[in-house]
Structure 1
């Protein structure tokens, strides 16, 4: 974070950190500095106690307090509630960059391991036999319930998400719903599109669909990769209450979006937080090149999700996916990504050499 960004952020959070006390309170500047270095460096509270020369118990109070202030100050700016026009613009950007029509975002999630607290029972205990909370992210309890119980899923089910009305695909005349792309962890739904199962023997048309699908999901993989590589607090088990862990998560998401968005007009400072070679990118021939964030790795305590429930798509949902598949292999769809057949054949040959994993998507 550049000094200008820090000062701007300080001015935003200051109203939530000002205190009146008989004793002179710690300044908002010091508390924000302590919290940001704690999140970025991933060091212990004891280290911050010595570095900033404040009491240990004070450090434990400062971090969640400042994280809450960051959320309150930044959430309306960097995570605004979208209306139909906002969703439509995102869809246009996905089509322009990834040639995936009617896509309004890529969905994924991670388990963040937390320390088990006394008297918590089985709450927050997951199938991988550790305690965690889940971060669900859309780029733009139990595994089976986390998506269904999220506010976003509830809004989409009830129609409160204010999605744009169905419109035809380019050069087509059948209205098509706007969808979110997600991996096989999530169930097929009217607003949630997933790839064809890799365990089945896929046709070339299905391989093309999965390839085009994986391209649209590249951004969410990069988002989690950059988030973990830049905020080292995610490289260790969170030893805090669930409430404070949620505050840390919410602050990290806001800080990530804040730095990314403010970098755009900060004379090239994007190279400090998210340089071009840090991302997974696709070249002109459709091959994916790993970004430097993969050197840091996803983190031992930041794990991928399992399946979120039984997938019973039904004929209508399968028909939606098949319609989109046929569009990708039509002359219009082929013109958008003319290398797609060459790519899936190269991938199939590579999978065969590694043991016949036909139809695997690009990582």
Structure 2
């Protein structure tokens, strides 16, 4: 495949030969196991270790099945996959999955959301997923969730280009309630103000000062820096417009998870591994996703693979939706409290009113919210 069949190489390892070689140059030195080398039995090369690990993440097949494909001992396969995933995360995380460190970094993300999704002062879209795992030994109901499966919780924020910028993974599935967000590193960081978020600034074309915000669905709490939709049906036009605009920006994280699950099929079925190892595999897949979105986007995520819109704002569903179901990466329930402060409600009302002004509206929003099937 490396020599003569580039398409099969991508389908097999989810990256081209050139990108594989670049990744190997980064992680290869940390995958060398010299102490096992001998004249009779040489050590497994870093390239083989990396290829084996990528194949495991790309297929989601059992690690034992790789024993037949790579002719490596079953116990050795398990060890290689775990060690390589740790190396992949540690090497790629600092460059490709690091949270924005300065106000300028956050403002750059906001500018992308404003340009691509017409949502000003947006710092990212947030969502949570259950990563389904096999029932851990002697764990009782610790990882048992309300959907009747065992899982760990993945909470993530993405930028406007379908890249993860904040990731919190590992909370047990039974905590899929109002406590997940407040217990997460992201939730605590927003409470403590340790994310270096920029201060409020006027909405474009106005003098109305508005805080920078994250956008999420109804599962998240309403806060001054976190927007969620208005609840209920039969909403008036301006409220329906806000919900449409919020949903349009929030769809980015839905597509990010969709790309992740479509390319790394380990998320298409329950992960047959202990919870700690499932966390390691998930973090490695996220790091690889960002690495490929940055370095090989046209192949990893070609045109038409994600949701798009025509000139009238009509949704064109991405091809990933034909490949992904909720088998191993399922929607999470309520992960934030329903109570909100008056100041948080005022911030949401501020954005709602702005989207009805000539400076904040998009021409097709009224058509969408006034459709009978909206």
Tell me if both proteins adopt one fold, taking TM over 0.5 as the criterion. Answer: yes
Residue 9 of structure 2 corresponds to none
**One of 173, 184, 208 as aligned partner of 1:150:** 184
Question: Which aligned pairs between 1:212-227 and structure 2 lie closer than 5 A?
Answer: 212-227=245-260
3-state SS, counterpart of residue 18 of structure 1: coil
Note the residue ranges of structure 2 that are not aligned, 5 or more in a row: 1-14, 160-171
CA distance in 1, matches of 2:287, 2:138: 31
In 2: Cα distance, 1:128 partner to 1:299 partner: 11
Instruction: Report the Cα distance in structure 2 between the residues aligned to 1:101 and 1:81, rounded to whole angstroms.
Output: 20
C-alpha distance in 2 between matches for 1:324 and 1:299 = 33
How far has the Cα of 1:22 moved from its partner? Answer: 4.8
Q: Deviations over 1:169-193 (max 9, x none)?
A: 1122232111000000111012111
Matched, 1:246 2:260: no
User: Once the two structures are superposed, what CA deviation does each residue of 1:132-189 show, in whole Å capped at 9, x if it has no partner?
Assistant: 0111121124012222111111111111100011111112223211100000011101
Match of 1:16 in 2: 30
Contact in 2 for aligned 1:10/1:32 (Cα 8 Å): yes
Q: Deviations over 1:224-249 (max 9, x none)?
A: 11111111111111111111100100
CA–CA distance in 1 between the matches of 2:118 and 2:265? 34
Q: Which one of the candidate residues 327, 339, 350 is aligned to 2:354?
A: 327
Distance 1:320 1:143, change over 3 A: same
Unaligned runs of 5+ in 1: 265-269, 352-363
What are the within-5 Å matches in structure 2 for residues 227-306 of structure 1? 227-263=260-296, 270=298, 272-306=299-333
Given candidates 132, 146, 165, the residue that maps to 1:113 is 132
Question: Given the alignment of the two structures, is residue 190 of structure 1 paired with residue 224 of structure 2, yes or no?
Answer: yes
Question: Larger deviation: 62-71 or 17-26?
Answer: 17-26
CA distance in 1, matches of 2:127, 2:270: 21
Residue 146 of structure 2 corresponds to which residue in structure 1?
A: 127
Contact map agreement 2:181 2:336 (CA 8 A) in 1: no
Which of 16, 20, 26 is residue 6 of structure 1 equivalent to? Answer: 20
Q: CA deviation at 1:301?
A: 2.2
In structure 1, C-alpha distance between the alignment counterparts of 2:350 and 2:210, rounded to whole Å: 9
Q: CA contact under 8 A between 1:229 and 1:298: conserved in structure 2?
A: no
- State the match for 1:359 in structure 2: none
Alignment: residue pair count: 340
Q: 1:7-156 to 2 correspondence within 5 Å?
A: 7-23=21-37, 24-82=42-100, 83-140=102-159, 141=172, 142-144=175-177, 145-156=179-190
